[in-house]
């Protein structure tokens, strides 16, 4: 039996990507700074981590990402001006990001892939289990998901990833997993809010014909520190990049190294804000729940739905 894991308080947020899917909006600002309703996309991810008790955060960034550091730092002049005006609401909004977590930053250096970005965090993370949250994913209720993933990790000692069913034609955009089978049935790990299964295999961005399932890896992970040793040995894979999925495949195949890999099958809503359509959907969903503008937006949508939606596509 593997030693039970210690409390997880650290997380790595890879944020070095160029954001080419969103040009020209991301020509001069990082994609993580695009606003979703009233906050930059990255703030949702940091709020989610903090909400799950991950308060020691390392962002792995790159060139042109200084706005991220500025966003989570104090701006004394702005705070003074708002305080003098007595604008408590805006003052609280300006202060919120810097109070969420203990933020650390590291540049990735060479853009060698997600696995490489995570490996760069080794020194900061040390010998503890840690979370990884990818900045492009906004998950509605994500702090609950992350908290449950930590619970699964603490109970089993395994690395834990979140997966979700996607249409088969979309698997080529994701890491894809297949469960370990016992007597022909997926090996379940019971007792958690969402179904959990032990994994046999993970493949990065397969063609649908080669995909072992349509269970796609979401950008949320709770990893054992053994993943660093595996990443050190991981050769470039899909797209010539060092893939986190490939390192997890080694952990899944060799449970004696790091306790194996468990996938939690999440059924909630998730948006990839690096994708234009998903970005608009995320804005609509979060705006329609917003305390200040939600009710008005919902009324406006109901009034204009026919004109907005138009006739059904042929
Ligand atoms: C990364 C991972 C992939 C995962 C995806 C989730 O890919 O490599 O396994 O399914 O995030 O968003 P990316 O979207 O960075 O290409």
Q: Is the CB of 217 under 6 A from ligand 1?
A: yes
- Report yes or no: 81 and 56 within 8 Å, Cβ to Cβ: no
Output the pLDDT for position 141: 87
* DSSP run (H or E) holding 56: strand 56-61
Q: Is the CB of 219 under 6 A from ligand 1?
A: yes
Q: Is the CB of 114 under 6 A from ligand 1?
A: yes
Measured CA distances, 162 to 79, 96, 115 (Å): 39, 28, 17
What's the rounded Cα separation, in Å, for the pair 44 and 147? 15
277 CA distance to ligand 1 centroid (A)? 17
Output the pLDDT for position 4: 54
165 strand-pairing partners: 215
What is the best residue among 14, 113, 137, 173 to mutate for testing ligand 1's pocket, by most ligand atoms within 8 Å of CB? 173
Rg (CA), the chain: 20
176 CA distance to ligand 1 centroid (A)? 10
Please report, in tens digits, the pLDDT of each residue of the chain (314 residues total).
455 556 899 999 999 988 888 999 999 999 999 999 999 999 999 999 999 999 999 999 998 899 999 999 999 999 999 999 999 999 999 999 999 999 999 999 999 999 999 999 999 999 999 999 999 899 988 899 999 999 999 999 999 999 999 999 999 999 999 999 999 999 999 999 999 999 999 999 999 999 999 999 999 999 999 999 999 999 999 999 999 999 999 999 999 999 999 999 999 999 998 889 999 999 999 999 999 999 999 999 999 999 999 988 77
What's the rounded Cα separation, in Å, for the pair 248 and 189? 18
List domains and CATH numbers for the chain.
10-303 (3.90.550.10)
Q: Whole-model pTM?
A: 0.94
- Residue 272 CA, closest ligand 1 atom number: 12
CA-nearest residue for atom 10, ligand 1, is 174
Output the pLDDT for position 17: 87
Q: Is the CB of 174 under 6 A from ligand 1?
A: yes
Cβ neighbours of 170 (radius 10 Å):
14
- Report yes or no: 141 and 220 within 8 Å, Cβ to Cβ: no
CA 245 to chain centre: 14
Output the pLDDT for position 5: 54
State the burial class of residue 21 (Cβ atoms within 10 Å of its Cβ: 0-12, 13-18, 19+).
middle
What's the rounded Cα separation, in Å, for the pair 97 and 72? 5
119 CA distance to ligand 1 centroid (A)? 16
What is the best residue among 20, 164, 217 to mutate for testing ligand 1's pocket, by most ligand atoms within 8 Å of CB? 217
């Amino acid at each position: 039996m593997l030693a039970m894991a210690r409390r997880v308080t650290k997380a790595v947020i890879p944020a070095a990507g160029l954001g080419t899917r969103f040009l020209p909006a991301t020509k001069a600002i990082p994609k993580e700074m695009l606003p979703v309703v009233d906050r930059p996309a990255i703030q949702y991810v940091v709020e989610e981590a903090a909400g799950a008790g991950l308060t020691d955060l390392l962002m792995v960034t790159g060139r042109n990402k200084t706005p991220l550091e500025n966003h989570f730092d104090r701006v004394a002049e702005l705070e003074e001006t708002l305080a003098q005006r007595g604008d408590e609401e805006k003052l609280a909004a300006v202060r919120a990001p810097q109070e969420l977590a203990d933020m650390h930053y590291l540049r990735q250096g060479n853009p060698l892939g997600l696995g490489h970005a995570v490996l760069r965090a080794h020194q900061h993370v040390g010998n503890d289990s840690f979370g990884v949250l990818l900045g492009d994913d906004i998950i509605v209720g994500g702090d609950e998901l992350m908290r449950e993933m930590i619970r699964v990790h603490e109970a089993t000692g395994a690395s834990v990833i979140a997966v979700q069913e996607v249409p088969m034609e979309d698997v080529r955009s994701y890491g894809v997993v297949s469960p370990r089978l016992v007597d022909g049935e997926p090996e379940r790990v019971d007792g958690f809010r969402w179904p959990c299964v032990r994994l046999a295999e993970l493949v990065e961005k397969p063609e649908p014909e080669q995909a072992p399932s349509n269970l796609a890896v979401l950008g949320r992970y709770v990893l054992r520190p053994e993943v660093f040793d595996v990443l050190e040995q991981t050769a470039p894979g899909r797209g010539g990049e060092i893939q986190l999925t490939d390192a997890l495949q080694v952990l899944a195949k060799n449970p004696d190294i790091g306790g194996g890999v468990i996938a939690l099958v999440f059924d909630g809503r998730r948006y990839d804000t690096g994708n234009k359509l998903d970005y608009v959907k995320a804005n609509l969903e979060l705006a329609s729940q917003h305390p200040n503008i939600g009710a008005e937006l919902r009324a406006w949508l109901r009034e204009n739905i026919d004109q907005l939606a138009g006739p059904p596509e042929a």
